[in-house]
């Protein structure tokens, strides 16, 4: 690899946009495409679909926590923390709400359904899905803002 290619690669990796767009793809691919498709499979019963979705969402949650830490580090190193702090703060709040509050509640509902008990009504699923939309919009906003702006010293 010549020095210019290496320099360009390092410059690109210092831009938070790549984390934002990768994370957006991960979230859209799992939350809005793969998981809904599990429930359309004719040979998969609802309890099994819920169980599979629970495992996948738990893995997604861990990946998102890693992506959040990586994004925070890259934003800090890029010199853009002052201009992006509000977006990153809201994004962190969304991820933490999902991981610490909504995921455990949804996992418990899944356990109940798998055990043959139909839980009462809850707004947790609607809230989780709404936060997924907010998260994707935040990630796209952050990604495009960091693409068009230059790091400040």
2-44 pLDDT per residue, tens: 887 777 667 777 899 999 999 999 999 999 999 999 999 999 9
Question: CB neighbours (10 Å) of residue 36?
Answer: 11
Distance CA 117, CA 140 (A): 39
Strands (E), 21-152: none
85 has pLDDT over 90: yes
Question: Which band of pLDDT confidence, cut at 50, 70 and 90, is reported for residue 110?
Answer: very high
Q: What is the pLDDT of residues 47-66, one digit of tens each?
A: 999 999 999 999 999 999 99
Distance CA 39, CA 44 (A): 7
How confident is the model at residue 54, as a pLDDT? 95
Distance CA 51, CA 57 (A): 10
Distance CA 103, CA 105 (A): 5
How confident is the model at residue 153, as a pLDDT? 43
151 has pLDDT over 70: no
Token pair, residue 97, equals 């709400």
**Cβ-Cβ contacts under 8 Å for 13 (sequence gap 6 or more):** 74
């Amino acid at each position: 690899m010549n020095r210019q290619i290496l320099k360009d690669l390092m410059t690109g990796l210092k831009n938070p946009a790549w984390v934002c767009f990768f994370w957006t793809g991960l979230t859209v691919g799992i939350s809005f495409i793969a998981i809904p498709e599990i429930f359309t499979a004719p040979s998969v019963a609802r309890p099994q679909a819920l169980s599979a979705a629970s495992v996948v969402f738990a893995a997604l949650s861990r990946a998102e926590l890693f992506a959040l830490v990586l994004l925070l580090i890259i934003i800090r190193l890029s010199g853009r923390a002052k201009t992006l702090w509000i977006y990153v703060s809201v994004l962190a709040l969304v991820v933490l709400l999902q991981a610490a509050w909504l995921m455990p509640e949804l996992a418990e509902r899944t356990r109940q359904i798998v055990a043959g008990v139909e839980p009462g009504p809850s707004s947790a699923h609607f809230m989780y899905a709404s936060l997924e939309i907010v998260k994707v919009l935040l990630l796209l906003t952050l990604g495009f803002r960091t693409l068009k702006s230059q790091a400040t010293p």
